[in-house]
Structures are given as C-alpha cells and as structure tokens.
Structure 1
Amino acid sequence: MQDKATLRRATLARRQALPPAEIAQRSQQLCDQLFHQFSVAQWRWLHLFLPLAKRNEPDTWPIIHRIWAEELAVRLAAPVVQADGISLRHYELTPATPLLTNRWGIPEPAATAETEVPAAAFDAVLVPLLAVDCAGHRVGYGGGFYDRFLAQCRPGTQFIGLNVLDDAPVAAIADVLPTDVPLTAYITPGGVWRF
C-alpha cells in the first residue's frame, strides 16, 4: 500500500517522460473510450478540465471537438480557480467562449454571471488524476480542488477519472481522507474500470 505523495511523485515522473505525440495519441484513445463506454449524448451537462500541457495532462480537446462536431445536445463547462486559491467555479464552454490563462498556465473560460453553471447541474465530471485505487479513490496534485467540488455535485453524478498512463488501479491508497470523494469510473487508453 502506497501513500499519495509516493504515487504522485512516481506517476508525475513517468507522465512527464512521454513525448507530446504520445500524449496526443493517448488522449485520442481516452476520447474513444469515453464515447464507446458511456452515454455521452444523453448527458445534459458535462464538466471537464482544460489540459495543462506542460504537465502532460490528458488533452480533453478531442472530446470537446467531437461533441461540437457531432452537435450533441450535451452542454460543456470548465472550472475557473477562484481568487481564494482553494475553490472552483464553473462556466459554460462553447466554440465562442474566450479562454484566459490563469497563474498556473491553465486555460479557463471567461467568467460571466450568465455563463456560470452550478455544481448540482452536472450529469458527469471528467476528473484529472495521477493514480487511483480499487475503491475509486484518486491521487491528484494535492490541492483538494476536485474533492471540494465533487462533494457539491448532486447524488448520481458520474465522476470519471482520466489518465494518459495505462495504469490499472492500485490495490489501495494508504492515506485516503474522509473528505476524499471516490470516482465512479476510471479511463485509461487501454481500459475502463467502474467502481
């Protein structure tokens, strides 16, 4: 059983070693898995993160562009880190939405009162992660942003982790906290797990 810090260090190093072309190919495989294994067209609202390219995060743009190209009814939203540095708010993402880069280099939709989406609206949330265990507990960057956000979502919302590494879930994470919100599913380029 490994702790979050150990898993975080090891996984970040392995992910950072992947060349951009590999990230692009694996991100497309994540997109294909999502559309093959989940009823994306039936969702009303999908929350997704916009990738931090310098950290080799999964690129969610293939998912976004496919939804727009197929003119699916599902609406999209992405997070904006708030000035307090610990919370997220969520704003609609359309082809016309201007994007701004935050202090960490993460693209965010321009925030307006009209385009804010409450956490309770989401049918599914795509969650960034570094590792996950067999109970659906995830290792992120350690800021707690997503655990606070997921706790605000309504019961029945699907929490789907994305990982460009083809890592199966580890047996257990040693230092899971009571505030950690487990995933309902986990996607890698080569597989899907449901919890």
Structure 2
Amino acid sequence: MASSQGTDADKSSLRGNYLAARAAIPVPTRRASDEAIRARLRELPVFAEARVVLTYVSVGAEVDTRALIEGLLAEGRRVAVPLTRPSAHTMSFHEIRSLDELRPGAHRIPEPPADSPALAVPDMVGSVCLVPGLVFDGAGHRVGYGGGYYDRFLPFYPGWKVAPARTTQMSSNPLPVGPHDVPVDYIVTEAATWSCW
C-alpha cells in the first residue's frame, strides 16, 4: 500500500493504517505472498550463507516465519528467536531446536524459556536477522509496533538486517525517522528484493 502520508506523518497514525490494511488481506493471498517471500529469502546470498538466522516468531497476520523456521531447523541450520524483557524494553536472541520449545511471553508472542542461553555478540557475526515491521520505505526505514525492542537491539547487531515484507507494506514516501532508528539492509517481498545500502 503506497503511503499517502509524507515525512510529517506520525508513526501512530501509520501503525493504525497499516494494521488495518494488513488485517484486510484475505488469508489465501497472505499465504501465497508469504510462500513467495520465503523462496526469495532463500535466494538471497547473505541469507543462504548465514551461520545463524535470528528471526521473529510470527503471530496473527504478520509475514509468516514459522514455516521458514521449521524448514531451517529440518536442514540443520541454527535458528534463534527473541526473548523480551518488557520492563526494560530490551530483548536477546536464544537458539532453539523446535517451535515446541516456545511458550507465550510478552504480548502473547511465543518465546524461548527464560533460562535458555542467549547468543553473545560473537555468535551473531555472519548471521542474518529477520526484522519485523508494519511498513518500510526504499531506504530501509521501518515503522514497527512501538515497543522499541528492535530499536535498542539493532545498533549493536553485527550481522545483516533483512525485512520480509509484502508489497502492501511498502511506502512510496519516506517514513518518519527518529535519531535511534536503524534501517534494514535488504527488504524481501513476494515481487522483488531491494538492497537498501
């Protein structure tokens, strides 16, 4: 959905607009888009060569990552997912071996057990992080859900930042950018892959 908002649009109104637009996409259309996104992700060299894949665990109408996680684990690839600390608005990534390990955490999002070991920064060198968002622009800037978890994590992340997104999540206008916003390196949609650097 091409944004009719300019850079003066506030993130709250953008969130509302894009949440509504995403919810209106028929389930079969979402599934077809997500399957095409997974195929394009696997063609992206930085993804194919990544030592570890850090990824959000999709819920609701988000671009599906569960099928991707299951496929990667079946191939013996290393996968890590976020564990959040809501009081501090921070998160760490923890390696998993099955989606069955996950339990509802903050905001009812599936998370690994609190006592599972977190990846250290050296473990993330040569990795890819799949970054969620509601809307992205061509420069790789994003509007997320407003929790600030990725805004605090990404400045210290040493790997590639890749956003899986449907074409309806792409804005034709620049998004509002704050001083702590970190753009992604690539955006992968069902139709194309964009390099943002």
Q: Same fold (TM over 0.5)?
A: yes
Q: Please identify, of 182-191 and 4-13, the stretch whose mean Cα deviation from structure 2 is larger.
A: 4-13
Is the CA contact 1:79–1:88 (under 8 Å) kept in the aligned structure 2?
Answer: yes
Distance in structure 2 (CA, Å) of the matches to 1:19 and 1:119? 39
1:101-127: per-residue Cα shift (whole Å, max 9, x none)? 0141211112325x3112453221000
Is the CA contact 1:165–1:189 (under 8 Å) kept in the aligned structure 2?
Answer: yes
Report the TM-score when normalising by structure 1: 0.86
Unaligned ranges ≥5, structure 1: none
From the superposition, tell whether residues 15 and 110 of structure 1 become closer, same or farther in structure 2 (CA, over 3 Å). same
Compute the displacement of 1:151 (Å).
1.1
Distance in structure 2 (CA, Å) of the matches to 1:164 and 1:110? 30
Report the TM-score when normalising by structure 2: 0.85
**Residue aligning to 1:105:** 108
**Residue aligning to 1:129:** 133
RMSD over aligned Cα, in angstroms?
A: 2.0
Is the CA contact 1:121–1:153 (under 8 Å) kept in the aligned structure 2?
Answer: no
**Residue aligning to 1:59:** 64
1:5-49: per-residue Cα shift (whole Å, max 9, x none)? 232221111101123333322221111110012343421111000
Compute the displacement of 1:70 (Å).
2.9
Unaligned ranges ≥5, structure 2: 1-5
Check if 1:159 corresponds to 2:161: yes
For residues 168-179 of structure 1, the aligned pairs below 5 Å read 168-173=170-175, 175-179=176-180
Q: Which amino acid aligns with 1:184?
A: D
Q: Which amino acid aligns with 1:51?
A: S
2:25 aligned counterpart, secondary structure = coil
**Residue aligning to 1:192:** 193
Aligned residues: 187
State percent identity of aligned pairs: 29
